């Protein structure tokens, strides 16, 4: 059963009551909010997610996230919301109009900060023909916009924010979630494809105006299907420029990807060996693009024309 299958009335009872337990990739999350408009947004963005019963004794709930209105008399003048993660306050309250943004950030925080069984890179990941493309680079480089665009052109979304990689492998575990869009990228995706389902827009957040795109149903359904990294891509949005791919040195790719990782240092040698092993076997590319359609076409051609992954090992890998 999916969130959509529940129907709005039942969803309200669950989401605004004990919480709805959904599965995303390897995680079970109990999500709830005593805020009506958030239920609608949740349904828009999470409609394809499988809903679990949540009552079975052997079911592990990895995260419990609940957005609730703040108490006190000020709530009548300045309605604010706060977020409880596993029953504890983890974030400062925000205006009620930003409840969805808070909910998504809390969910991200849970995914980023818990599972040290993976090397966690701050990268989007999409897949085509069984090969995964890591979208790496610093915040604001256009990773999520590109991930959204590629999903709308037939690529599978594994994540727009985080690559979970099993140490010692190139295998990415999916965590498909709504794709976070900021500022002008919201309009870019709306204009790019009318099929894009975009949830409510939150303005004035610490990241500016944000909105989220519902992930493709197929990506959610294949949430347990891993993919091996074949390319590491560093995209840069460059207004007016034609889409262009250029190789970048592997050493640079390793250092830049490691800088944006969440737990690379924490994993120590295992983190280095995992990342170096990925760089050994991947093409490392920079993409400058000013036209999303052109960029999507270029990357799709790359994926469709790719020979089976060649193994290029560094000198030390054989020692």
Partner 1 sequence: MTRKQTSWRVPDGAGLRWRSWDGDHVLYHGASGDTHHVSAVAAAALRYLETQPAGIEQLSRHLERQLGLEAGPEFVGQFEQMLGRFDELGLVEVVS
Binding site for partner 1 (CB under 8 A): 249-252, 254-255, 258, 265, 268-269, 272-273, 276, 279-280, 314-317
Q: How far is the CB of 268 from partner 1 (least distance, A)?
A: 6
Q: Kindly give, in sequence order, each residue whose CB lies less than 8 Å from that of residue 215, ignoring residues fewer than 6 positions away.
A: 48, 151, 157, 176, 177, 178, 179
For residues 74 and 259, which CB has a smaller minimum distance to partner 1 in the complex? Answer: 259
For residues 98 and 123, which CB has a smaller minimum distance to partner 1 in the complex? Answer: 123
Q: How far is the CB of 175 from partner 1 (least distance, A)?
A: 25
The CA distance from 163 to 142, in Å, is 16
Whether residue 231 contacts residue 133, with contact meaning beta carbons closer than 8 Å, is answered with yes
For residues 97 and 248, which CB has a smaller minimum distance to partner 1 in the complex? Answer: 248
Q: How far is the CB of 246 from partner 1 (least distance, A)?
A: 15
Q: How far is the CB of 287 from partner 1 (least distance, A)?
A: 20
For residues 223 and 258, which CB has a smaller minimum distance to partner 1 in the complex? Answer: 258
The CA distance from 216 to 214, in Å, is 6
Whether residue 93 contacts residue 75, with contact meaning beta carbons closer than 8 Å, is answered with no
For residues 62 and 273, which CB has a smaller minimum distance to partner 1 in the complex? Answer: 273
For residues 241 and 252, which CB has a smaller minimum distance to partner 1 in the complex? Answer: 252
Whether residue 136 contacts residue 260, with contact meaning beta carbons closer than 8 Å, is answered with yes
Q: How far is the CB of 212 from partner 1 (least distance, A)?
A: 34
For residues 182 and 256, which CB has a smaller minimum distance to partner 1 in the complex? Answer: 256
Q: How far is the CB of 271 from partner 1 (least distance, A)?
A: 9
Q: How far is the CB of 249 from partner 1 (least distance, A)?
A: 5
């Amino acid at each position: 059963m999916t969130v959509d299958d529940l129907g709005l009335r039942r969803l309200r009872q669950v989401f605004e009551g004990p919480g709805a337990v959904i599965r995303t990739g390897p995680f079970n999350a109990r999500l709830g909010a005593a805020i009506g408009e958030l239920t609608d947004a949740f349904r828009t963005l999470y409609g394809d997610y499988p809903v679990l019963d949540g009552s079975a004794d052997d079911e592990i709930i990895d995260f419990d996230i609940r957005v609730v209105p703040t108490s006190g008399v000020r709530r009548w003048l300045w309605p604010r919301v706060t977020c409880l993660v596993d029953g504890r306050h983890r974030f400062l309250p925000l205006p009620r109009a930003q409840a969805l943004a808070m909910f998504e950030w809390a969910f991200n925080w849970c995914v980023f900060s818990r599972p040290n069984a993976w090397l966690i890179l701050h990268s989007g990941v999409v897949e085509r023909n069984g090969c995964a493309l890591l979208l790496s680079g610093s915040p604001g480089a256009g990773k999520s916009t590109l991930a959204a665009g590629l999903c709308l052109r037939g690529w599978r979304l594994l994540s727009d924010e985080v690559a979970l990689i099993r140490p010692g492998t190139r295998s990415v575990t999916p965590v498909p979630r709504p794709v976070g869009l900021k500022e002008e990228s919201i309009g870019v995706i709306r204009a790019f494809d009318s099929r894009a389902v975009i949830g409510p827009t939150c303005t004035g957040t610490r990241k500016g105006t944000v909105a989220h795109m519902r992930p493709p149903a197929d990506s959610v359904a294949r949430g347990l299907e891993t993919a091996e990294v074949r390319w590491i891509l560093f995209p840069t949005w460059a207004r007016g420029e034609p889409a262009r791919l250029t190789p970048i040195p592997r050493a640079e790719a390793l250092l830049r990807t490691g800088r944006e990782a969440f737990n690379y240092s924490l994993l120590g040698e295992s983190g280095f060996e995992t990342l170096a092993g990925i760089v050994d076997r991947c093409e490392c590319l920079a993409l400058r693009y000013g036209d999303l359609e052109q960029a999507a076409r270029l990357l799709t051609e790359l994926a469709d024309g790719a020979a089976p992954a060649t193994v290029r090992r560094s000198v030390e890998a054989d020692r």
